[in-house]
Structure 1
Amino acid sequence: MINGSTDVQSLALQFMQADRASQDQFFAQRQNAYQTQLKAYQALTGKINELHSTIDALADKNSLEAYSVTQSAEGYADITASGNAASGQYQINIDQLATAHQVALDFASETDPVATSGQLTLGLGGDTFNIDMAGLGAGADLTDLRDAINAHADNPGVQASIVRTGGAVKLMLTSEETGAANVVSMTTSGDPAMADIQTAIDNHTELSQAQDARIYLGANQSLELTSASNSFDNAIDGLTIDLKKTHAAAGDVLTFTVGQDGEATREQLQTLVDGYNAIVDTVNQKGVTGDSTARMLVQQLRRELSGSGISGLGLEFNMSGKLTLESGRLDDALAANPDALTETFGGDTGLLAKLDARLETFTKGDDSLLKSSSNAVQSSLDQLQDRMDRFDLRMEQTYNRYVNQFSQMQSLVMQMQQTAGLF
């Protein structure tokens, strides 16, 4: 009952809250449903992108079959095999390693002034660049010349450094790249002021030759292979050979065997299985269950997988709709046909390409299916927020009306009490 001591604002607030309680509950339920659905779409998009990355990684290997390399001795080379390597045994003799050209020029002191006129021309292979000595400035010394060489914009890869040993000072020039073609060359313009530098060039010491790596392939070492670096990448199909040291004698060989790595192959295929199953798990979560776009995604992916003959490779669906991998059947299939996975999954028309294309329809571009579905939910959430804002405004008006009504009632009660007091 309203009297003179009633807090009409608090009373009005209680009445207004009672009026809006059911509508607030409805708004909260709808808002939570939309937000849950948006989060689910975001989670699903994340799982699709992860499967995209898995497919790209498997496709980059050119084959799902992994290969291992077993060597007869360690320390001579690091050898790895990719999917298009041919299984078998190989023998190589490592005759020489690739080295970078390196020369040293003798100078009296690193602080004595160098020439302030003339030109020093340095080269690497067929590329040259010129150092204008006048540009070094008055009083320039050997350290300034070193810095000018290293900082020159046209330097093709000649690294200059100063070596101090036993009172002697040397300007060391080193090719940044190994290989017989990368020879450091040095000439001057013949200016008399360049006499000291020309003398150093004429009497330079070669610290390391520019040479290619060289190996001989085969038991009789009849095939010579060379490389400007110590890495032979795909000189033999599917093999990368990184040389570490040479053999002591011409007849010595490193024997290595290339074969399929069943465990690694299963691990690679399992990444695809896990990626698909992660999508299935996400679709089964609250917020996506029953969603037509999510159901379509799983249905299309399963259709591609089911129609590709993967059961013969040990892949099949369980009662939960998830993929499983039976290792024994996979091993048997690869034993019968080592290229079975590549034939099924590889190439522009293989399963990996088909799965990738399916995934792109759901996530690539603003018109993709998941993006469109997310936009529709976000639009509904925005409309709901507009309704909530308008409802808040009405409830504020309702609150003000209650305050006005209760205030009038309070004034009337107080007047009646005053009148009763007169009697």
Structure 2
Amino acid sequence: MTYDAVWPLCIILLIMVILLSLPIAVFRNIQVIQKTQNNRLYTIDGLRGYLAYFIVFLHATVWYNLISIHQFKGSEQTNVELLGTTGLCIFFMISAFLFWTRWLNHQGKIKVIPFYIKRFFRIAPIYYLCILCLFIAVMGKTNWHLEVSIGSFIKQIVAWFSFGLFSFPTINGYPYTSLLVMGVVWTIPYEWMLYLALPIIGVFSKNIWVSLCFAITLCVITILSQFYWKIHLIADNDMMPFASYAIGILIATLKHMKWQPPFRDFYGSLVMAGCIALLLAFCHKYPEPLMLLLGGVFFYCVVSGGSLFGLFKLPASQRMGRVSYSIYLCQGLVLYFFSDTLVFVKQLILRSIWHYWSVFLGECIVLLFVACCLYIFIEKPCMDLGREIANKYTKNQRNKYAITK
């Protein structure tokens, strides 16, 4: 057994599902989506948690290499890397699918300001909490001494608090700033790029056939840009999120047209299992076109009702999916706390591979509890607040329009 083996990860996920099924208050307080509630696809909620933990598994290998051989790298060309990177692509597909579906349902007539209010209150609270913890960790690493000018320090803080839309600079001269959150924040700017682009590209959602042509064109352009034209806007492989968005938009359009696989959940689950098998057998390293294709087919089966033999329908899976955002953002801080702050844990990890897996299991359990608490006490209340503010804004605008009229 190695530190990047897959079967121990399956056991850890099974333990997570068992924990979330227990009558523990912190888990029971997480709402489970019913099949037809608010037209929401509960299979997507059931998928998200597993995708988040695949990324956690990938980043755990980074921490292990950093501790053992003092190199910042993951486990290359392994099944863990394939599952983690493909899972990240599917996360982007989910975002594009959900929002484009909303645009299609309203034929592009979405009130932009309420949309942004709700998105801010969904993304910002946990993000800012993580960044605050990051600042404290960095200042602790630099002995609470200002190593740069006050002006530079303020610019660094502003850059991080603006969701890194321009950059995620090192803070106070500490070179491993992003490492403390495992660099996961790099996806946040791409999320906001999607949000900012939606009111513009939303004009293509007014007609379903125009939407289909737009989605296909976008898929072709982004995939060619990534793999053949080698166009990079920000960094290497940065067209992969855009290609994933394009696939999500295409799947949303196809579903809106009711072009769905005609088979039942069982056969859809077989196709999904086949996608995973093909991914592990024929893909070698991120990024690859086949990775996007298999991820897209897998996700299309999910939005068509595929549950991977009932796995995504489990209340435990849905609970894990509901807290997936906190799992994703907080993983670096939890890994940092265990592997760097607690010296005895760091020594235990290096003792043997069995010690490593035992510690990692403990880290995953702690991360799950932290994510659940954050969801209950911060995420959910802030989402409700954002929805309330957005509704008040919409109501006030209607009243102003009625008075003017």
**TM above 0.5, one fold?**
no
Report TM bin, short chain: under 0.3
Say which structure is richer in strand: 1
Compare CA radii of gyration and give the structure with the larger one: 1
When the two structures are superposed, what TM-score results if normalisation uses the length of structure 2?
Answer: 0.22
Say which structure is richer in helix: 2
When the two structures are superposed, what TM-score results if normalisation uses the length of structure 1?
Answer: 0.21
